[in-house]
Amino acid sequence: MSFDPALVSSLSLKHPRPHNANFVYGTAGFRMKAELLDSVMFRVGILAVLRSKKLGGKVIGAMITASHNPEQDNGIKLVEPLGEMLLQSWEGYATRLANAATEADLVQAINEIIAAEQIDFGKLSTKANVVCARDTRPSGEALVAAVKDGVAALGGSIVDYGFKTTPHLHYITRCLNTQGTPDAYGVPTEEGYNDKLAAAFKTITAGLPRLSTLHLDAANGIGAPAFKKFLETIGSEHLSVHIVNDDIHSKGKLNSKCGADFVKLYQTKPEGLDLAPGQRAASFDGDADRLVYYYIDDNGTFKLLDGDKIATLAAGFIMEQVRIAKVQIHKPDGTKAPLHVGLVQTAYANGSSTSYVKNTLQVPVVFTQTGVKHLHHAAEHFDVGVYFEANGHGTVLFSKEATHAFKTTQGSTPEEHRALEILRALADLINQSVGDATSDLLMVEAILTVKQLSLSGWDKAYADLPSRQEKVLVAQRSIFKPINADTELAEPLGLQDKINQQVQKFNKGRCFVRPSGTEDIVRVYAEAETRDETETLSQIVCGIVFDGYGGVGERPAKFKKVDAAGNVVA
Ligand code: 16G
Ligand code: MG
């Protein structure tokens, strides 16, 4: 026997599994009401050890957060050695461990994983290493203790980094695993992170006139203290940010009527922020991995600059610098080739942004399923892979060849030197391991500073099509089977035809239905040429789903009714 089943059992008894619970490791790990999570945390601790052992003792991250969810929720996700999300083929093991019904079944599940993955558990040289951190949720402390017990149950070691943003933990994990190698990513501390980003930001913006103050809504979450520390590091002469919604101590404030998710969903400014026309503002979500910008225009209209706008700003700017610097990739056969720039979006990307990227920027667009891991992997296929979800989660990935080319290209004019300097600094400024609100904010501020661009100036690139997102409560969301990067449904049979029949009645109409991976609902996204058309399309499809596919609870009056021929009757 390669581990001590008695130890696993005795520690597991301290973290009993709730009866009748069914846990699924979903898009963003386990996420639910915090009171249900104790046993899950313990078992994820076990899984982290197994993953580390499988990878020869590499450090695995465990982040305890429920992101933009309300304060009573919590969750956990594991981080791979280079900062990516847990390998998808291991998600099933997470689910298996979490649902093991008894201590004996848990021990059996561990043995199954060891066998399936051929983990040499007894090998003493591969000590398992785990690092963990948590956001500001009050439930976090006890849940961290449960993770530690899980790690201890299999004899692994764990270092607790305390309160950190999700991107901090991804960064730290990557730094720890690359220390002392040619791919060394940085000093594995929050201070190391702040120093690295501050230096890169200063390089890009040196000598340029400063932008006006940015008002930052930190969602009353971990982003508030984290960004304050960053501002102390960089100094107010380099960056002027005024943080609001920074109350991490009062109960119930986290993500409540504030934060990136709230602003994106309701297309309105958060509570706690007085926004005057012309002022610049941005929001983080509760664990500081999402970012959206916004402002009030001269007509008093709220204008959102979401993940699509951030992606297009970044892609356009990087392409411009690459062009100026005349950077080329050195191929293994000795020839040179232009950098391959690409953009990754999901079905939630506004149709206007996709047209702008394809037609104006002339950059190829790839669509993936919702969920950062899918976008991240697709972006890895480019030399410069820009990926963002419309909700503000994303980053830019540079291939090894691209970073090498930035470093080795010798510019011959001052313009070329400057563009190369910017590209090198961008590769440091942009978090390569995961979408990161702090790093993304600095990237946007740096680009806007170089271009001396206002938010309305940035916004002019293209006009969003009106869009609408609705939730429909259904009895069983698992009957909805999305295909084609979530843009269509294979099942329930016939539903997609009904949606298509409606969509073609609307100018620039687009609509899709997908089951949420984080909430027990189905989401309906609609887009059309005008706000009224968008609204109508949305309510028709919501009605079709609710009436024909298991809607539960009170039927929202705004949902429209259609007859068998697809005509709206009410
Ligand atoms: C999670 C995902 C996010 C995705 C969202 C979709 C990560 C780290 N986060 O928050 O990328 O947009 O889920 O939620 O993967 P939904 O399935 O409820 O629409
Ligand atoms: Mg988040």
- Of 411, 434, 457, which one is at a domain's C-terminal end? 434
Domain count, the chain: 3
The pLDDT of residue 59 is 98
- Among 351, 406, 368, smallest CA distance to 384 is for 406
Q: Would you please indicate which residues are annotated as catalytic (active-site) residues?
A: 67
Instruction: Verify that 486 and 565 share a domain, yes or no.
Output: yes
For residue 250, is pLDDT > 80? yes
**Confidence at 517, pLDDT banded by 50, 70, 90:** confident
Residue type, 23: F
Instruction: Verify that 396 and 494 share a domain, yes or no.
Output: no
The pLDDT of residue 25 is 93
Ligand 1 centroid to residue 502 C-alpha, Å:
27
Beta bridge partners of 385: 342, 397
What is the rounded average pLDDT of the residues 357-376?
Answer: 95
For residue 394, is pLDDT > 90? yes
What is the rounded average pLDDT of the residues 482-486?
Answer: 97
Query: Ligand 1 atom closest to Cα of 68?
Result: 10
Ligand (nearest to CA of 31): 1
Q: What is the CATH number of the domain that holds 99?
A: 3.40.120.10
Instruction: Verify that 355 and 477 share a domain, yes or no.
Output: no
**Confidence at 117, pLDDT banded by 50, 70, 90:** very high
Tokens of 343: 């953009």
What is the rounded average pLDDT of the residues 406-423?
Answer: 96
Q: Ligand 1 atom 19: the closest Cα is on which residue?
A: 516
User: In percent, how much of the chain has pLDDT > 90?
Assistant: 94
Is residue 176, in this structure, part of any structural domain at all? no
CA 439 to chain centroid, in Å, comes to 13
Ligand (nearest to CA of 26): 1
The pLDDT of residue 488 is 98
Is residue 502, in this structure, part of any structural domain at all? yes
**What's the pTM?**
0.95
- Among 84, 128, 83, smallest CA distance to 110 is for 128
DSSP 569: -
pLDDT tens column, 4-32? 999 999 999 999 999 889 999 987 899 99
User: In percent, how much of the chain has pLDDT > 70?
Assistant: 99
- Of 122, 139, 163, which one is at a domain's C-terminal end? 163
H or E segment to which residue 131 belongs: strand 129-134
DSSP 270: P
Query: Ligand 1 atom closest to Cα of 77?
Result: 8
Burial class for 325, CB neighbours closer than 10 Å (0-12, 13-18, 19+): buried
Instruction: Verify that 72 and 140 share a domain, yes or no.
Output: yes
Q: φ, ψ for residue 451 (rounded to 5)?
A: -90, -5
Which of 80, 345, 370, 521 should be mutated for ligand 1, with most atoms under 8 A from CB?
A: 370
- Ligand 1 surroundings by CB, under 6 angstroms: 27-28, 67, 370-372, 389, 391, 393, 516-519, 523
Ligand 2 centroid to residue 360 C-alpha, Å:
31
The pLDDT of residue 334 is 85
Burial class for 308, CB neighbours closer than 10 Å (0-12, 13-18, 19+): buried
Query: Ligand 1 atom closest to Cα of 373?
Result: 15
Is residue 44, in this structure, part of any structural domain at all? yes
What is the rounded average pLDDT of the residues 518-522?
Answer: 88
pLDDT tens column, 430-467? 999 999 999 999 999 999 999 999 999 999 999 999 99
Q: 101 is in which domain, residue-wise?
A: 5-163
- Residue 132 contacts residue 158 (beta carbons within 8 Å): yes
Query: Ligand 1 atom closest to Cα of 521?
Result: 18
**Confidence at 2, pLDDT banded by 50, 70, 90:** confident
Is residue 526, in this structure, part of any structural domain at all? yes
- Of 163, 192, 208, which one is at a domain's C-terminal end? 163
What mean pLDDT, rounded, does the chain reach? 96
Instruction: Verify that 155 and 25 share a domain, yes or no.
Output: yes
Ligand 1 centroid to residue 27 C-alpha, Å:
6
The pLDDT of residue 146 is 98
Is residue 299, in this structure, part of any structural domain at all? no
Ligand 1 centroid to residue 265 C-alpha, Å:
14
For residue 155, is pLDDT > 90? yes
Q: What is the CATH number of the domain that holds 354?
A: 3.40.120
Is residue 324, in this structure, part of any structural domain at all? yes
Which of 348, 518, 520 should be mutated for ligand 1, with most atoms under 8 A from CB?
A: 518
Instruction: Verify that 352 and 495 share a domain, yes or no.
Output: no
Which of 393, 474, 480, 524 should be mutated for ligand 1, with most atoms under 8 A from CB?
A: 393
The pLDDT of residue 377 is 94
Q: What is the CATH number of the domain that holds 557?
A: 3.30.310.50
Rounded distance, CA 347 to CA 349, Å?
A: 5
Ligand 1 centroid to residue 36 C-alpha, Å:
20
Ligand (nearest to CA of 28): 1
Instruction: Verify that 54 and 109 share a domain, yes or no.
Output: yes
Is residue 457, in this structure, part of any structural domain at all? no
Instruction: Verify that 398 and 499 share a domain, yes or no.
Output: no
The pLDDT of residue 125 is 67
Extract long-range pairs of 15-22: CB within 8 Å, 24+ residues apart: 15/39, 15/41, 15/42, 15/43, 15/146, 15/149, 15/150, 17/98, 17/99, 17/100, 17/101, 21/99, 22/99
245-259, 292-306, 327-341, 391-405: range with lowest mean pLDDT: 327-341
pLDDT tens column, 294-348? 999 999 999 999 999 999 999 999 999 999 999 999 888 888 999 999 999 999 9
What is the rounded average pLDDT of the residues 385-404?
Answer: 96
Rounded distance, CA 515 to CA 404, Å?
A: 41
Instruction: Verify that 35 and 118 share a domain, yes or no.
Output: yes
Q: Ligand 1 atom 10: the closest Cα is on which residue?
A: 28
Instruction: Verify that 385 and 511 share a domain, yes or no.
Output: no
Ligand 2 centroid to residue 225 C-alpha, Å:
16
The pLDDT of residue 352 is 97
Instruction: Verify that 473 and 557 share a domain, yes or no.
Output: yes
Burial class for 289, CB neighbours closer than 10 Å (0-12, 13-18, 19+): buried
Which of 80, 262, 372, 395 should be mutated for ligand 1, with most atoms under 8 A from CB?
A: 372
- Helix, strand, coil fractions of the chain, as percent rounded to 5: 40, 20, 40
Query: Ligand 1 atom closest to Cα of 375?
Result: 11
pLDDT tens column, 121-148? 876 668 999 999 999 999 999 999 999 9
Q: Ligand 1 atom 12: the closest Cα is on which residue?
A: 371
For residue 558, is pLDDT > 60? yes
Instruction: Verify that 482 and 534 share a domain, yes or no.
Output: yes
Is residue 483, in this structure, part of any structural domain at all? yes
What is the rounded average pLDDT of the residues 519-547?
Answer: 96
